[in-house]
């Protein structure tokens, strides 16, 4: 069973949903940069104040802020982990590669969750979070295509990428992902 995993995919593909399940069943640290940023917003911290408006527009929070959060969490942990929603651009991916080299904890598998835009938009509209209105969702999809999708070839070249069809029930998709982690 692979212990150091990264989930990649467009907004609404179900990264958070699947990451939570797998982390709980395999006892991995679940690191969702979206959840961590929302917690900072909720707590009213300086970091949260900076992140709030950016997230509401569907843009990416600055690499420095996100990296600081991830670095401190990875340094604290000792077992396996699952990164969900990070990295989201090439600069973050390169910074992560450097950090993981320092920590001696290389990524073992990158799971790419693939789903049609129409289904993504429908899922996000029914989730109903404050950044889930149609205009912001479309902008997040553009940001994904421009900034995050280039990571697919980055991780493919490193021989780490495996794709999963992210349509179907939560259980079906979970079984596909578990099979990949055991391969």
Task: Write out the residues near ligand B4P by the rule CB under 6 A.
Answer: 11-17, 33-34, 37, 54-55, 58-61, 66, 85-86, 88, 92, 123-124, 127, 140, 169-170, 173
- Beta-sheet strand order (sheet of 81-84): 29-32, 81-84, 4-8, 109-114, 161-165
CB closer to ligand B4P out of 33 and 181:
33
* Torsion sign (Cα): 81, 58, 54, 153: positive
Q: Which residues contact 34 (CB under 8 A, 6 or more apart)?
A: 16, 84, 85
CB closer to ligand B4P out of 105 and 147:
147
User: What is the largest distance, in Å, between two alpha-carbon atoms of the chain?
Assistant: 43
CB closer to ligand B4P out of 14 and 155:
14
DSSP class of residue 144 equals I
CB closer to ligand B4P out of 6 and 58:
58
Minimum CB distance to ligand B4P, residue 86 (Å): 4
Minimum CB distance to ligand B4P, residue 27 (Å): 20
Residue nearest ligand B4P (C-beta atom): 34
- Token representation of residue 34: 């979206």
CB closer to ligand B4P out of 2 and 15:
15
Across the strands, what pairs with 50? none
Minimum CB distance to ligand B4P, residue 2 (Å): 20
Minimum CB distance to ligand B4P, residue 37 (Å): 5
The strand ranges marked E within 48-152 are 81-84, 109-114
What is the C-alpha to C-alpha distance for residues 59 and 147, in angstroms, rounded to an integer? 10
CB closer to ligand B4P out of 6 and 16:
16
Minimum CB distance to ligand B4P, residue 140 (Å): 5
Instruction: Identify whether the C-beta of residue 58 lies closer than 8 Å to the C-beta of residue 111.
Output: no
Minimum CB distance to ligand B4P, residue 66 (Å): 4
């Amino acid at each position: 069973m692979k212990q150091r995993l990264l989930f990649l995919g467009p907004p609404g593909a179900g990264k958070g949903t699947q990451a939570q399940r797998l982390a709980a069943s395999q006892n991995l640290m679940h690191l969702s940069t979206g959840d961590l940023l929302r917690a900072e917003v909720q707590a009213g911290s300086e970091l949260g104040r900076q992140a709030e408006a950016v997230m509401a527009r569907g843009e990416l929070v600055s690499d420095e802020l996100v990296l600081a959060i991830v670095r401190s969490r990875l340094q604290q942990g000792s077992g396996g982990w699952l990164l969900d929603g990070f990295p989201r651009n090439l600069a973050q991916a390169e910074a992560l590669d450097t950090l993981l080299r320092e920590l001696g904890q290389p990524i073992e598998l990158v799971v790419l969750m693939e789903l049609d835009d129409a289904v993504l938009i429908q899922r996000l509209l029914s989730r109903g979070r404050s950044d889930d209105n149609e205009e912001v969702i479309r902008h997040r999809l553009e940001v994904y295509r421009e900034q995050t999708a280039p990571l697919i070839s980055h991780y493919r070249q490193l021989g780490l990428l495996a794709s999963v069809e992210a349509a179907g029930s939560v259980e079906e998709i979970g079984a596909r992902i578990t099979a990949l982690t055991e391969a």
